[in-house]
Amino acid sequence: MIEIIATTIEDAKRIEAFGASRIELISAMSEGGLTPSYGLIKTVVESVRIPVNVMIRPHAKSFVYTEAELNIMKEDIKIARQLKANGVVLGVLDENNAVDEKSLAELLETCSGLDVTFHRAIDELRNPVKGIKVLAEYPEITTVLTSGGKGDIQENLAVIKEMVENAGKIRVLVGGGLNFENIGRIVTETGAPEYHFGTAIRDNSSAYGGINEEKLKSLIKLMNRLGG
pLDDT of residue 102: 97
Tell me what pLDDT residue 177 has: 92
Amino acid 195: pLDDT: 97
- Domain of residue 151 covers 2-227
CATH number at residue 138: 3.20.20.380
**In this structure, are residues 63 and 93 in contact, taking their beta carbons and an 8 Å threshold?**
yes
CA torsion, ordered 133, 54, 63, 76, to nearest 10 deg: -120
Q: How many domains does the chain have?
A: 1
Q: CA 212, CA 12: separation in Å to the nearest integer? A: 12
**pLDDT string in tens for the chain (228-residue length):** 999 999 999 999 999 999 999 999 999 999 999 999 999 999 999 999 999 999 999 999 999 999 999 999 999 999 999 999 999 999 999 999 999 999 999 999 999 999 999 999 999 999 999 999 999 999 999 999 999 999 999 999 999 999 999 999 999 999 999 999 999 999 999 999 999 999 999 999 999 999 999 999 999 999 999 876
Q: Which residue type sits at 69?
A: E
